[in-house]
Amino acid sequence: MTLPKHFSTMKRPVYWLLAAFLIPTVILFAAGKVNTLEAQIFVAVLAGGAALVSIPALFPRRTGMSVDQHGITLHRLFWRSQLRWEQFRNFSVVDFDDTGLGLTPAWARYGIGYQVHDERELKAPGLLKRFHRFYGCHGSLPPVDGMRAEDLARLLNAALRDYRSRSTEA
């Protein structure tokens, strides 16, 4: 099974984060609502801080997910975490819209949940573990740009089967 080496993740949320800070900033300045120097500095620092945090995520390979023969590496802005194939039992599609009203944006509604053999191996805070347990999984992978969750789950399960067949042959 051949998977792409690197999946781009989480670009769309970054665009929304930038828009959430920059659009109101422009509107406030244009409407003349920021008329004192202190208010202008505060709004400029707030918008600039959001841009400084968000813009690095737009560069290639700063955020994403790499898949290789050893497992999955999650690339975050400031750290990476490695999940080995032997840890996984399976991957499944998880619907994170627990309201049932369709209020969750499409890019965040469906994710890839995973089950592991030994939950104690996961290095996640207890609250995060309880959150995932509510959805019937031990953890989840970030949304992938340009790929449906069902397709990614199918590819990852095929890669997991491929890993298992290679490890039993060796």
Q: Where are the domains of the chain?
A: 82-169
With CA atoms as reference, report the closest residue to 136 among 106, 94, 102, 97.
94
Q: Which pLDDT band, with edges at 50, 70 and 90, does 147 fall under?
A: confident
User: Which residues touch 160 (CB under 8 Å, ≥6 apart)?
Assistant: 85, 88, 90, 91
Answer whether 89's CB lies under 8 Å from 60's CB.
no
Sheet with 80-84, strands from edge to edge, namely 6-8, 64-68, 71-75, 80-84
Angle at 87 between CA 126 and CA 64, to 5 degrees: 75
pLDDT, tens digit (0-9, with 9 covering 90-100), for 54-96? 776 666 666 678 888 888 888 776 777 888 899 899 999 888 7
The per-residue pLDDT for range 30-57, each reduced to its tens digit, is: 777 777 887 778 877 877 777 777 776 6
> What is residue 157's predicted lDDT score, i.e. its pLDDT?
92
Residue 114 CA to residue 92 CA, distance in Å, equals 6
C-alpha distances in Å from residue 12, one per residue of 67, 78, 130: 21, 19, 26
Instruction: Please report the pLDDT score of residue 1 as a whole number.
Output: 44
Model confidence pTM above 0.75: no
